[in-house]
Amino acid sequence: MAWIALPSCIAKNNFLLILTFLASLALLVYSASLTVKSLNRLASSLRLNRFLLAFILMALATSLPELFVSISASLHNTPELLVGDIIGSNIFDITLIIAAGLLFSRKAVELKQSTKTDALYMGFFGILPLLFLIDLEISFAEGLVLALVFFVYLVKLVQERTEIAETFGRFAKKPFSFLATFLLFALSVFLLIASSDTLVGSAVLLASRFGLSQLMIGFFAIAVGTSLPELAFSIKAARENMPQLVFGNSMGSVVCNSTLVMGIAALISPIKIVSRFEILLSALFFILSLALFLLLIMFKLEKKHAVPLLLAYALFAFIELYFKF
């Protein structure tokens, strides 16, 4: 993918650079929402299991911003930016997004045992790239392992939760409708590529201009911005009393980010990290947030359980910013 160079009049002007960053972030969120809508139409027509819909299609769609930002970051040789984006997004997914879902839920949530089992898988997949980063590098081979893990688990989920023959039968009944929706999906993906490319370029310039590390930009500005589609979807699903969509979307996003997104980025260019302290600190916070999430889902969840998740993210943000400044 070609790198979209910013015009010199923008690159040299702080105000225009910030506006470009915000505009590309807004376009990224909009294009991600458009992608979600198109995939949602496909999934609704195929009548897929709700959790499977959220875990695979919705999570994959809402992880596309992270995917394209990571591809752009790999091509531009900014590995700390993509690692910060992925870890920051994962922490956001299992704290703020789940907390928002609980706060907007109309009644207490009690998850099925199968969902709790999937949460354990998610935890393993979330930690796997962090284990690869112990030597501060994710190699091509390790990236291949991450990508393969995603597809193997995807096949396992589909086989366990859907009747494949019936799904393809519904597809055959309305091929032109599916084609139109797929074209809408292709357009939204194009917008994702263009906006993420510009987003990474402006983020790198902002990081150097204001003395912020690429990792810090990835943790907060991009990670939060690219997670907004998941947040909006989860709030809507909670209001409509569909908690399985909230948890499926959040858990699926973590799996996609940690395996598919990180894996593809490493396949394009090996991920080599310089700042050991910042990676260790963020990895520790992800593991603590994950432990809190896994503990909470063992209970019948109410609005009050959103508080520790909110506090966990607030503590993460405070300590990251404290050590920076």
Q: pLDDT tens, 196-255?
A: 777 767 777 777 777 766 666 666 666 666 666 677 778 878 887 888 888 988 999 999
By 3-state DSSP, what share of the chain in percent is helix, strand and coil, each rounded to 5? 85, 0, 15
- Predicted confidence (pLDDT) at residue 174 exceeds the cutoff of 80: no
At residue 258, the pLDDT reads: 94
From residue 49, alpha-carbon distances to 122, 159, 167, 251, 264 in Å are 19, 12, 11, 15, 27
Give 288-303 pLDDT, tens digit per residue.
999 999 999 998 999 9
Greater confidence, 263 or 194? 263
At residue 218, the pLDDT reads: 62
In the chain the domains, ranked by start, together with CATH numbers, are 48-175+215-324 (1.20.1420.30)
Q: Computed from CA positions of residues 310, 290, 59, 46, in that sequence, does the dihedral angle turn out positive or negative?
A: negative
- Helix (H) / strand (E) containing 295: helix 276-296
At residue 233, the pLDDT reads: 74
Q: 57, 79, 82, 88: which is closest to 68 by C-alpha? A: 82
Q: How confident is the model at residue 43 (pLDDT cuts 50, 70, 90)?
A: low
Can you tell me the distance from the alpha carbon of 201 to that of 183, in angstroms, rounded to the nearest whole number?
28
Mean pLDDT along residues 55-73: 76
Residues forming beta bridges with residue 3, ordered by sequence position: none
- Predicted confidence (pLDDT) at residue 150 exceeds the cutoff of 80: yes
- Predicted confidence (pLDDT) at residue 157 exceeds the cutoff of 60: yes
Q: How confident is the model at residue 46 (pLDDT cuts 50, 70, 90)?
A: low
- Predicted confidence (pLDDT) at residue 156 exceeds the cutoff of 90: no
**pTM score, whole prediction:** 0.76
